[in-house]
Amino acid sequence: MKKKVVVFSQIDSKILAKLQELYDVRVLDPKQGDINTQIREEVVDAHGMIGAGRLLNESNLAPAKHLKIISTVSVGYDNYDVDYLNQRQIWLAHTPHVLTETTADLAFTLLMSAARQVPHLDRWTKSGEWKRTVAPAQFGQDIYGKTLGIIGLGNIGAAIARRGLYGFNMNILYHNRREKLALAQPLNATYCDLNTLLQSSDFVVVAVDLNTESEALIGKNELAQMQSHTVLVNISRGSVIDEVALIDALKQQQIFAAGLDVYQKEPLQSSELFELNNVVTLPHIGSATAQTRYKMAELAFKNLQTALDDQTPAYLVNPEFK
């Protein structure tokens, strides 16, 4: 008898076909009713789950009798109650590394777009406002040779730093809970405390994991430390930045601009951010290229398959039990 796998979000069709060859697959469909209700019903006799973008915790996983692994098609895992999964001895696997370069590309897309007011000036041009030589209100900020401050020098942070150093001859600062010499030295990156980074950087990119230490890491006081020409970019998690304080700083032109791919509440349906010309807003697309999303789905499939073959997946969030 085939083991049962629950697919709880949209997944690449080729990967779905592979799953269906090996397992008894149940694909959840929002059109068929409440997803949490479907999860509670289908998870009872499921051995594995694969997908992304759903809150999974005791409220919808409690009925599970045989669940061995949840394989998330993401690198972040703040949607999952890891403590509960540990209690139930359910593995959680994720997909690091394969999205590093694509996410770093997007960070620089946001940085450059915000620095040169690209979305605003695109709308400005199309609306017929371009009637004479541009005035200072349409000027942007130089990038080449400036100082780039990275909060969170992990794999993605280091990839962003490489783009800054080798593409734009930028001076690299970074802040972490601890120094990362192996990553920092090849980048000529200087470790500093958060306040020094905020005060000294022309561009600040937030690339930390979301945890108790990083939640609301950037608030009113931190924004006040930045220079008036600073561009702030967030490609980590929305809760790392106090959105209300950021909106106020942008309104008051306390900083030059922001580029955001993540928000405190997603999907973002309405926000004062939409009314501001000095912010670039994207719908959480850090890894959203066809090639990278396929690689993520492929790795998630491998994690799931390995676990259901009674072996240990390579990319476990909670490897404490085996």
Closest CA to 104 of 230, 235, 4: 235
Active site residue 284: yes
- Annotated active-site residue in 237, 272, 275, 293: 237
- Annotated active-site residue in 40, 162, 163, 284: 284
Query: Looking up tokens 């809760």, which residue turns up?
Result: 239
- In the chain, the domains with their CATH numbers are 4-97+290-308 (3.40.50.720), 100-281 (3.40.50.720)
Query: Helices in the chain by DSSP H: which ranges?
Result: 13-22, 35-42, 58-61, 82-88, 100-115, 118-126, 155-162, 168, 181-184, 194-200, 220-225, 243-251, 290-308
Cis amide leading into 283 (omega within 30): no
- Annotated active-site residue in 58, 266, 275, 320: 266
322 residues of the chain, pLDDT tens digit each: 999 999 999 999 999 999 999 999 999 999 999 999 999 999 999 999 999 999 999 999 999 999 999 999 999 898 999 999 999 999 999 999 999 999 999 999 999 999 999 999 999 999 999 999 999 999 999 999 999 999 999 999 999 999 999 999 999 999 999 999 999 999 999 999 999 999 999 999 999 988 888 899 999 999 999 999 999 999 999 999 999 999 999 999 999 999 999 999 999 999 999 999 999 999 999 999 999 999 999 999 999 999 999 999 999 999 876 5
Q: Which residues pair with 56 in a beta bridge?
A: 80
**R_g (Cα) of the chain, nearest Å:** 22
Active site residue 175: no
Residue type (1 letter), 196: T
For the full predicted model, state whether its pTM sits above 0.85: yes
Active site residue 66: no
Question: How far is Cα 226 from Cα 200, in angstroms, rounded to an integer?
Answer: 8
Give tens-digit pLDDT for 239-262: 999 999 999 999 999 999 999 999
Q: How many residues does the chain have?
A: 322
